[in-house]
């Protein structure tokens, strides 16, 4: 497996469910990101981890909880979500967290639908 | 004023035509400019990357940055149906602080008609 992988690719959940999204990067990068992509909106940065330490929490509601156990894996734990949280959740990685001058490699995303 | 403005389209052009995609921005501190291509049901992939002003060419793709006008463009020559995708512009100041994160446009949906 190469690049950035995400599972599951699709997820339907009720507002009372708890689920987790998983991301794995096989590129030897030190930084990983969670983005939210909604229709007709720009990509929204949610969380950034650098060397397994969270360096950015972009005012995301506490119903989203990230976890980075090592530099290759990133999770997004979901609980008591709202229908407006339905979106494509993208994971990305880069060599460092220098924002410019760094290519971010994206996974295919998890399409989430909250009922 | 939004930091990055990008027309969402859709933009439909016949095969073989030259495509012009554009973004405007307000932050004069942006120095790194990127174009990502996103196919349906896929994540964005970096297509072009430019530092500061000027042009950069890669095959059928040319990226232009005009910092004086705060305007960036992506040109696609000899467009192909396989170029049909959403194109996102992105830019950043290049620093390592939390305010230096990459800002994305909304993306332009492009359809190349066979």
- Per-residue pLDDT of A50-109, as tens digits, reads 877 777 776 899 999 999 999 899 999 999 999 999 999 999 999 887 665 578 899 999
Residues B27-53 as b/e (b if ≥16 CB within 10 A, e otherwise) read eeebbbbbbbbbeeeebbeebbbbeee
Task: Give the closest-approach CA distance of A24 to chain B in angstroms.
Answer: 14
State whether residue B40 sits within 8 Å of chain A by CB: no
**B32:A55 CB<8 A:** no
Beta-bridge partner residues of B15: none
> In this complex, how many residue pairs, one in chain A and one in chain B, have their CB atoms less than 8 Å apart?
70
**Residue B77's pLDDT is what?**
97
How far, rounded to the nearest angstrom, does the alpha carbon of residue A92 sit from its chain's CA centroid? Answer: 7
Q: How confident is the model at residue B51 (pLDDT cuts 50, 70, 90)?
A: confident
Mean pLDDT within B80-99:
87
**Residue A1's pLDDT is what?**
54
Residue linked to tokens 């689920």:
A19
**Residue B94's pLDDT is what?**
77
Q: What pLDDT digit, counting tens, does each position of A10-24 carry? A: 999 988 889 999 999
**Residue B83's pLDDT is what?**
97
Among residues B49, B44, B114, B51, which one has the least CA distance to residue B79?
A: B114
Cα angle B109-B45-A65, degrees, rounded to a multiple of 5: 100
The phi, psi pair for A13, rounded to 5°, reads -145, 150
Gyration radius of chain B over CA positions: 14
Q: Which two tokens stand for residue B90?
A: 């992105």
For B100, the closest of A6, A96, A99 (CB atoms) is A99
Answer whether residue A30 shows pLDDT above 80.
yes
Q: What pLDDT digit, counting tens, does each position of B59-75 carry? A: 999 999 999 999 999 99
| Lowest-confidence region among A37-51, A88-102, B77-91 | A88-102
Beta-bridge partner residues of A41: none
Answer whether residue B22 shows pLDDT above 70.
yes
**Residue A100's pLDDT is what?**
57
What is the spatial distance between Cα A65 and Cα A80, in angstroms, rounded to a whole number? 11
State whether residue B58 sits within 8 Å of chain A by CB: no
């Amino acid at each position: 497996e190469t690049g950035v992988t995400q599972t599951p690719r699709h997820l339907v959940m009720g507002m009372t469910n708890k689920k987790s999204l998983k991301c794995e990067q096989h590129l030897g990068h030190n930084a990983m990101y969670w983005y939210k992509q909604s229709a007709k909106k720009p990509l929204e940065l949610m969380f950034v981890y650098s060397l397994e330490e969270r360096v950015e929490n972009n005012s995301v509601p506490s119903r989203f909880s990230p976890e980075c156990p090592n530099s290759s894996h990133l999770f997004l734990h979901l609980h008591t979500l709202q229908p407006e949280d339905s979106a494509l959740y993208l994971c990305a990685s880069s060599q460092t967290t220098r924002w410019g001058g760094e290519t971010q490699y994206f996974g295919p995303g998890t399409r989430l639908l909250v009922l | 004023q939004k930091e990055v403005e990008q027309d969402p389209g859709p933009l439909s052009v016949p095969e073989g035509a030259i495509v012009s995609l554009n973004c405007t921005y307000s932050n004069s501190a942006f120095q790194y400019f990127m174009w990502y291509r996103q196919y349906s049901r896929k994540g964005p992939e970096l297509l072009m990357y430019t530092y500061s002003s000027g042009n950069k060419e890669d095959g059928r793709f040319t990226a232009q940055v005009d910092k004086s006008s705060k305007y960036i463009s992506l040109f696609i020559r000899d467009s192909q149906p396989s170029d049909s995708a959403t194109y996102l512009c992105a830019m950043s100041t290049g620093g390592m602080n939390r305010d230096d994160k990459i800002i994305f446009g909304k993306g332009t949906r492009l359809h190349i008609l066979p």
